[in-house]
Structure formats: structure tokens, C-alpha cells
Structure 1
Amino acid sequence: MTTNPYAGSPVGYAAEPAVGPYSIVELMPGVRNLCEYVRLSSGERVLLMMEHTVDPVVVQAIAAAAALRDTDVRILSVPPFSPGGWDRQASYAIETAAFHEADVVISGTWWGEVHTAPLFFDQIKSRSSRFLSLHMTATAGALLTGGRLPAEVFYALLERTLRQLSAAREIRVTSAKGTDLTFSGFAFDPDPGAMRPGDWRPFPYGGANFWPTDTEGVLVVEESTATGVPEEPLRITLEGNLVRKIEGGTAAAQLRRYAPGGFYMRHGLIGLNPKVRIAGGSQFEREKHAGAFYCGLDGLTDGEPVTTGPGFAHCDCQVDRPTVIVDGEVFIEHGRLLILDEPHIRDVAARFGPPDVILDDNPMMVLPRRYTGAPA
């Protein structure tokens, strides 16, 4: 059977299926977790910045939940963002002005803020807003699956992961398709939980994010934001944290055009959310699945890595079922996050329901409503 590699590479929310109006009922457990994660409080000014093509039911669900908490809700419908500075002349004056006046921003964009200077992380950190991003995840499917995981369970997984990985000397990522990367000299995002002014966080909550100073080896891309799913193996060779070679037919040519000045390894992420979809999910959704891995290449600026602003060629690369070895110890085995079986993690999950249900990493089995919220 011949498979079209582009079939699983939607270009934006317009390619996502819409849902019926009564679906709002089933979205509310995930939306409730979203509101608690961003710590919505009565009287706050809340901006929902949603691309024109986001499903109206998703927008209504978030707006209704925010209004129920007696916040001052505004919905701003905006044009789709372009990836990697593709449209650097686009005006974001309205979006920026609205963002500056909000206490909380809930952003439903396909490409996310990392691709545009006026809403880049340095700008977010300079403001008093709390910025929650649903990049590629302002969908009913994401709220129904990954959004239902209780935040306490995610943070137990994150704390356990950071305890081991932040003290490590080396992280090695391999895959059946040929990826073999070794990271060292890295720093992890501590993500302390409760959001503070100037914080940016993704939703559904997803993983452990890190920035390496050195990356060596070969990345075989299973999907990227610049190429979709490649027609043939796309091999990227890195030395000294810089991309030295890109091989793989059409996709390789597309990637070279995306950043003619070259790439460096900006960051990596280890997925920790067992309820996030693999099948049917966008790339930025799948990257958060427990046991998945992705890394972000970014364009060099005048031949140098510059991390204080956008590289205007950010390209996230997905590895769905890797093996991750931390200082010689297996942490993920063929896409299975081993700490899901640890007693402490199971004890935290048991506060909400049966651990075998809550921690099952088959996201086709949607978490029942009664296990998604208040402790059992």
C-alpha cells in the first residue's frame, strides 16, 4: 500500500475537523484544567487570541469557563500566524496592544509565538501577563485527551524527570529510523507550577524542556514544521551543536531553503503526558505524549546562534517512539516512559482514580470525566 506522507501534515486549523455544538460538554473537563493551570481569578482581564480558523466550539468553551470565573473576557480573532518569519512584514500591532492590556492571554495559534518577534518570549517575559499557548492544540481533540490529565499528575512526572535529568552529564536519543543524538551541557526549564506574571506555558501541559550547549550525531526526522512528513529519510548531522549536513531529497532542499544561513540546535523536549494523542494529533500535540521526543532547530543569525530573539527559521523535529538513555540508564524505551510504573507516580495518580487508567499511555482510551479533576 502506498501512503501519502503529506496526509498527516495539516497546514493549520482550517485543515482540522469541526465538531458539533454539543461537544462543548465533553470539552469542559479539559477547559477546567486549563483555567486552573493559568490560575484564572475573578476580575482579571482575559484575552482569547484565536486565529480565524479555530473551531468556534473550542473558543466558546474556553470563553464560557473564563466568564464563569467572573473574569473580564475579550475574544480577538486574528489572521493565521506564518512560520519562521515567512511573513516578516506582517503587522501585529493590534495583537501586541491587546496583549499589553491583558492579565491573562490564552493564545490559539497554529505556529505559536516563537515564530514572531512582537510576541516572542522576551516580550512576554517583559510584561505582567500570564501567557498560555495552545499552539496547534486549540482543538476539541487536544482538550478531550491531553487536557484531561490532572495537573498534579503531570507535575509529579515532571518533578521526577527533572530530578534525574537536570543532574545528568549526557542524554542520548535513538530511534528505530536511525536517530542517534547525544546532548550535553544542558539546562532544563524548572517550570515550578503555578503561573506567574511574565510566564509562558503550553497547554495541554507536555514535557521537560531543555537547552543544550553541545549536540553530536544524526537526527532522522519523522516530521518537521518545515517539511511535514518527509517522502524519504531526512538525515541531519550535528557537530558542536551546529547542523553540518542535511540529506534527504525534497525535504532536505525544503529545509535548506527555510534557513539558508544554517541551523543550530536550540532546544529539546521529552514528552510526559500519557493522555496526549499520537494518532490524529498535530506535531505540537504529539510532541507532548509520554515517551515522545522532539527538538527545535533554529536559524543562525549572521552565522551565530542567538537565543535572545527568534531565529526566524525555527523548525521543530519529531521522534515519536525514541529510546532515551540518561548517563547510561534507560529512561524511555521504544517510546515507553518507564517512570509511569514507579510507585510514587502511581500514588499521585491514585488521588484521582485508578492509576492503571490515569497513567495508561494509550490515548485512544479517553480519560473518564470523573478522573480528570478533584481528588477522588
Structure 2
Amino acid sequence: MTTNPYAGSPFSYVAEPAAAPYAIVELMPGAHNLCEYVRLAAGERVLLMMEHTVDPVVVQAIAAAAALRDADVRILSVPPFSAGGWDREAALPIETAAFHEADVVISGTWWGEVHTAPLFFDQIAARSVRFLSLHMTATAGALLTGARLPVPVFHTLVAVALRRLSGASSIRVTSARGTDLTFSGVTFEDAGPDGLRPGDWRPFPYGGVNFWPTGTEGVLVVEDSTVTGVPEEPLRVTLEGNLVRKIEGGAAAGQLRRYAPGGFYMRHALFGLNPKVRVAGGTQFEREKHAGAFYCGLDGLTDGVPVTTGPGFAHCDCQVDRPTVIVDGETFVERGRLLLLDEPEVREVAARFGPPEVILDDNPVMILPRRYTGIR
């Protein structure tokens, strides 16, 4: 596998292994759940916007699942998107025109279209399109693992998590490698009870609960990031007042500073909820969704200040695989173990699809059997 010189992770879809043609049979449960999550209905105009390097078997599986629902499917193969700010002048006229005519967009990009102004969140909301994004996850591995978790189980995990987290005055995230962050003034995203609504953008496989802090204090020790990959030596980011004050750690620190010479702030963060998402072998945007994982997005300052209404053009997502999370003094995640997986309400919903101890087991090496994936 080709890797970038400073990381132990792939740098684009071209570095991902190809799936065998017959693998499409095993990808269909995940593709089915994708359509369930996006609430795809007969007759809707569906745009599959896939980078040239996405595995054709993955594209075929998603297109076939959508066509089976009698959707009007179009497939647009596009050049790879650049990281935020790396090609900020890109107008994307073809992609934008196609996106404007769709009811549902299913996007397979590595860096993510939300790094670009023409397809940013405000444009998605203005068009009332339902936008499902497979950031680094338009892969056979992602459809075979995290996408197999039944949709109602994920919705229940989100509902229970939001009841516990919304209104929290203090959230502390620590890790064995030295991360120690405290968030305050947090606002959690209203994910909706039944999947995507017009104007929504969501990642897939479904993974977690997202929040925006107004206060972040402490040190983030980056285990993986979209800018640096896996750092060669500890990469320490110090935050005060929600702003990045110091970046230390060899070559990776230099890369991160060059990415946003004007500085960073803490834009958002997420707790992973999906026990079937891969850890070993998964890209960062898979691992961030694993139950008990934590990631946060540092964004570039605009003229020295945070601007949340548009792209910062220097967004860097940072991963912590096995944190401990304390919410107002109570443990929410213990060394990477999401305690909500043991909640009776969650286990009751999981039992509708199979043994809860199988469906909610957070060992991602054990693939969920297709009869427990929600297909009927």
C-alpha cells in the first residue's frame, strides 16, 4: 500500500486496495442501510458524485441499491477534491450544476467537498438537498463493517447520547498519550430522529454526535490528522480560549503550521457511537466514528478571527482513538469503551435485529453477519 512519507495511513482512494468484483454481494447490506439512512424514495433524483479513484465495485453497490428503490440515479465521476484551501479558487461548475438538480447527493470524496465554498454547508442548506458524504469511506471495507449496523440502532445511540450530553457545562477528554482538553459552552448538533432531512449534510457510515464549543482549554496530542497523517513523534497542540496558542512536535508540527499560517481555532468535535466501524485498517474518517473514539476539527482563522459561516479553508481533523471522556463529573467513555453500549434502551432496540451482545460488540474485527444488519 502506498503511504505518504510521514504517516502510516493511505493518502487517497488510489492507495486503497481494490475489491474483488464478486464482493458486491457482501457490500449490499451496507448499501441498503445507506439508502435507509438517507430516506431514499422512489422517483427521487440521486447524484452519485464519486472521485475518479473510487473503487467501481463500491460505486456499483450504492447505485444498485438506489436503483432497486426505483430512484432516478446519475453517476458523475469527478477529479479528486483538494484539502481545504489548497485549491481554494476551484469553481467546480459541473459538480455544482449537477448538485443543484439533485434531491439526494451521495458523495465519495477523500478530503471532503465541505472544504470548498461552492459545496459548503450553507449551499447544501440553501438547496434543500439531502447530502450524504463518504469522506475517506467510499471503500469496500467501510460498507462491509460500519455500514452494517442497523439504522434504528444508530438512531437510538444518538438519542441516548444527546440526552446525556446536551446541556453539559463541562466535557473533559483525556488519553494515555497525553491529551487533556476541557470543553465548555458546547452546542450539540440536532441530528434529527429519522435520518436525513432536506438541507442536511451527514457522513456515512453513520458514526457519532457532533458539537461546537465556545471554550477549549488544554492540550491535544494528535494521533492522526488529515494534514499530517500519523505523526512520527508526539504532536502537541495547546489551546486557550478556544484558540490554538502553540504547536509542537517535529516535522508534523511544521506541516500543521504551514497549512494555516494565520492560526487555528477549535471549530467542532465529535464522539464516535458506531461499534462496527473499523479501527485497524480504517482511514481516519472511519476510525473517528468508532464507538468511544474522539476527534476534533481545527479550522483556519480568517483575518485572525474564527468565522463559522463559511469554510475556513484550512480545516484539519485530529483523531484520538481511545480516550476517556468525563461529562459533568460522570464517565461517558472509559479508555475507549462507550458506556452507552450497555444501556438497556440501546440493547432493547438492538435485540430487534439479533443478539445485542453481537450487534453492540465493539470489536470491529468481528464483522456483523448479514442476517443481523436490518435487511428484511
Normalising by structure 2, we get a TM-score of 0.97
Give the number of aligned pairs.
Answer: 372
Alignment of 1:140-289 (within 5 A): 140-192=140-192, 193-289=194-290
Q: Which runs of 4+ in 1 moved over 4 A?
A: 4-7
Please state how far the C-alpha of 1:113 moved relative to its aligned partner. 2.1
* Aligned position for 1:300: 301
Normalising by structure 1, we get a TM-score of 0.97
Letter in 1 for 2:31: V
Task: Give the Cα separation in 1 of the matches to 2:343 and 2:5.
Answer: 37
* Aligned position for 1:319: 320
Task: Give the Cα separation in 1 of the matches to 2:8 and 2:364.
Answer: 18
Alignment of 1:70-109 (within 5 A): 70-109=70-109
Please state how far the C-alpha of 1:374 moved relative to its aligned partner. 4.6
Please state how far the C-alpha of 1:156 moved relative to its aligned partner. 1.0
Task: Give the Cα separation in 2 of the matches to 1:35 and 1:268.
Answer: 26
* Aligned position for 1:332: 333
Gaps of 5+ in 1: none
Task: Give the Cα separation in 1 of the matches to 2:88 and 2:344.
Answer: 50
Which moved further from structure 2: 36-45 or 235-244?
36-45
Deviations 1:18-65 (A, max 9, x none): 011100000000000000111111111110000000000000011111
Task: Give the Cα separation in 2 of the matches to 1:241 and 1:75.
Answer: 41
Please state how far the C-alpha of 1:138 moved relative to its aligned partner. 0.3
Deviations 1:204-254 (A, max 9, x none): 100010000000000000001110111110000000000000000111010
Task: Give the Cα separation in 2 of the matches to 1:284 and 1:49.
Answer: 18
Task: Give the Cα separation in 1 of the matches to 2:241 and 2:284.
Answer: 27
Please state how far the C-alpha of 1:85 moved relative to its aligned partner. 1.4
Task: Give the Cα separation in 2 of the matches to 1:6 and 1:273.
Answer: 28
Letter in 2 for 1:245: K
Letter in 2 for 1:42: A
Deviations 1:117-139 (A, max 9, x none): 10010110100211110111000
* RMSD between aligned residues: 1.1
User: Is 2:343 aligned against 1:342?
Assistant: yes
Task: Give the Cα separation in 2 of the matches to 1:68 and 1:54.
Answer: 21
Task: Give the Cα separation in 2 of the matches to 1:61 and 1:249.
Answer: 42
Task: Give the Cα separation in 2 of the matches to 1:160 and 1:12.
Answer: 35
Task: Give the Cα separation in 2 of the matches to 1:323 and 1:310.
Answer: 30
Please state how far the C-alpha of 1:72 moved relative to its aligned partner. 1.1
Please state how far the C-alpha of 1:167 moved relative to its aligned partner. 1.9
* Aligned position for 1:51: 51
User: Is 2:112 aligned against 1:112?
Assistant: yes
Please state how far the C-alpha of 1:91 moved relative to its aligned partner. 3.2
Q: CA 1:5 to 1:365, structure 2 compared with 1: closer, same or farther past 3 Å?
A: farther
Letter in 1 for 2:360: L
Please state how far the C-alpha of 1:5 moved relative to its aligned partner. 8.0
Identity across the alignment (%): 82
8 Å contact kept, 2:7–2:232: no
